[in-house]
Chain A
Amino acid sequence: MSNSPSPLFGYPRPDGRWGFRNHILILPLHQALSTAARDIAEATSGAVAISHDWSGEIDKDFERITKTFAGFAGNPNIFTTVALTIGTEVESGIIERAKKFSPTPLVEIKLSDAGSMFKLVTNALEKVTELAEQAAAQSRTPAPWSAVVLGLECGGSDAYSGITANPALGVASDRLVEYGATSILAETMEILGAEHLLAARALDPKVGEQIIEVVARYERSINYEGIDIRGAQPSRGNIEGGLSTLEEKSLGAAKKAGNAPFTGVLEYADRPTAPGLYFMDTPGHDIEQLTGFAAADVNITVFTTGRGTPTGSAVIPTIKVATNSEMGLVLTDLIDINAGTISDGTQTLEEVGQIIFDEIVKVANGQLTKAEIGKHHEFNLSRLYGSTL
Chain B
Amino acid sequence: MRPVSSPSGQRKILFLNPKDNIAVCLADINVGEKISQDGREVSAVEAIPRGHKIATADIAKGDGIIKYGERMGHATKSIATGSHVHTHNVLGDRLSTENT
Write the nearest CB–CB distance from A280 to chain B, whole angstroms.
21
Write the nearest CB–CB distance from A169 to chain B, whole angstroms.
15
Q: Which of A244-263 contact B (CB under 8 A)?
A: 244-248, 251-252, 255
Asked if residues A338 and B9 are in contact (CB atoms below 8 Å), the reply is: no
Q: Which of A150-164 contact B (CB under 8 A)?
A: 158-160, 162-163
Asked if residues B92 and A245 are in contact (CB atoms below 8 Å), the reply is: yes
- Nearest B residue to A347 via CB reads B3
Across-interface contacts of B6 in A (CB, < 8 A): 325, 344, 346
Given the interface contacts A325-B9, A355-B3, does A242 sit within 8 Å of B86 by beta carbon?
yes
- Which of A192, A248, A345 is in CB contact (< 8 Å) with B95? A192
Inter-chain CB contacts under 8 Å: number: 123
Measured between alpha carbons, how far is A294 from B93 in the docked complex, in Å?
34
Asked if residues A344 and B5 are in contact (CB atoms below 8 Å), the reply is: yes
Write the nearest CB–CB distance from B47 to chain A, whole angstroms.
13
Across-interface contacts of A159 in B (CB, < 8 A): 24, 51-52
Given the interface contacts A192-B95, A242-B24, A242-B52, does A251 sit within 8 Å of B68 by beta carbon?
yes
Across-interface contacts of B8 in A (CB, < 8 A): 344
Residue B85 is within 8 A (CB to CB) of chain A in the complex: yes
Residue A337 is within 8 A (CB to CB) of chain B in the complex: yes
| 0/1 interface trace, chain A 341-356, chain B, CB 8 Å (1 if under) | 1011111000110010
Asked if residues A244 and B9 are in contact (CB atoms below 8 Å), the reply is: no
| 0/1 interface trace, chain B 1-44, chain A, CB 8 Å (1 if under) | 11111111111001010000000111000000000000000000
- Nearest A residue to B71 via CB reads A247
Write the nearest CB–CB distance from A344 to chain B, whole angstroms.
4
Write the nearest CB–CB distance from A14 to chain B, whole angstroms.
37
Measured between alpha carbons, how far is A247 from B71 in the docked complex, in Å?
8
Measured between alpha carbons, how far is A336 from B7 in the docked complex, in Å?
16
Q: Closest 4 A-B residue pairs measured CB to CB?
A: A245-B92, A159-B51, A242-B51, A345-B11
